[in-house]
């Protein structure tokens, strides 16, 4: 079987343009709701227990730095290596390599901790990556913050270049 193209997956999975870059489609939203009283500080209302999306990035695209109030698990499905950049609460940059080659420090999953800034792009030479993202408590745009380039560079001057490359 020859390798499927990004266009194949976009069509087959009915993916649409995502605000932070790439293409996506929500595939699951738990019908069970967690009440505000059961959620950590900072949430503004009840949330679904969990949500899940398909997400595809192509060579010329990136997922811009953003953060959410929930943990997010990234799952590798198909294609080329994807690098997910995470800036933790201490300002350390962590590069998660999603892919199917453990000998190249790649894994099928990574977890981005709630409140950490993160972005993603393909590893050099890659064509596209098809991944999934599971968020718990479930994703809500009320919990989403897209990074302002200058503000993020001010907070983390040691990561100025990658922030410049991965912000809108």
**Is 155 part of any domain?**
yes
Task: Give the model confidence (pLDDT) of 118-150 as tens digits.
Answer: 999 999 999 999 999 999 999 999 999 999 999
Domain count, the chain: 1
Q: Rounded distance, CA 54 to CA 98, Å?
A: 14
The parent domain of residue 58 ranges over 17-36+44-165
CATH code for position 154: 2.60.120.10
The confidence score (pLDDT) of residue 2 equals 64
Q: Rounded distance, CA 116 to CA 70, Å?
A: 9
**Is 1 part of any domain?**
no
Task: Give the model confidence (pLDDT) of 1-56 as tens digits.
Answer: 568 999 999 999 999 999 888 999 999 999 999 999 999 999 999 999 999 999 99
Q: Do 133 and 79 form a contact (C-beta atoms < 8 A)?
A: no
Residue 20, token pair as written in the block? 């932070």
Q: Average pLDDT of 111-124? A: 98
The confidence score (pLDDT) of residue 131 equals 98
């Amino acid at each position: 079987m020859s390798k499927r193209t990004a266009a194949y997956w976009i069509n087959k999975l009915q993916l649409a343009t995502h605000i932070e870059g790439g293409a996506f489609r929500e595939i699951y939203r738990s019908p069970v709701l967690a009440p505000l009283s059961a959620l950590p500080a900072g949430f503004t209302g009840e949330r679904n227990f969990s949500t899940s999306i398909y997400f595809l990035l192509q060579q010329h695209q990136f997922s811009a730095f953003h953060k959410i109030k929930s943990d997010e698990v990234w799952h590798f499905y198909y294609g080329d290596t994807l690098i997910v950049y995470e800036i933790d609460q201490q300002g350390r940059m962590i590069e998660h390599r999603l892919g199917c080659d453990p000998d190249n420090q790649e894994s099928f999953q990574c977890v981005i901790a709630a409140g950490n800034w993160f972005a993603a792009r393909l590893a050099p030479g890659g064509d596209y990556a098809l991944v999934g993202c599971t968020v718990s408590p479930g994703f809500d745009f009320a919990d989403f913050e897209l990074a302002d380039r200058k503000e993020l560079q001010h907070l983390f001057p040691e990561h100025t270049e990658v922030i410049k490359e991965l912000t809108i």
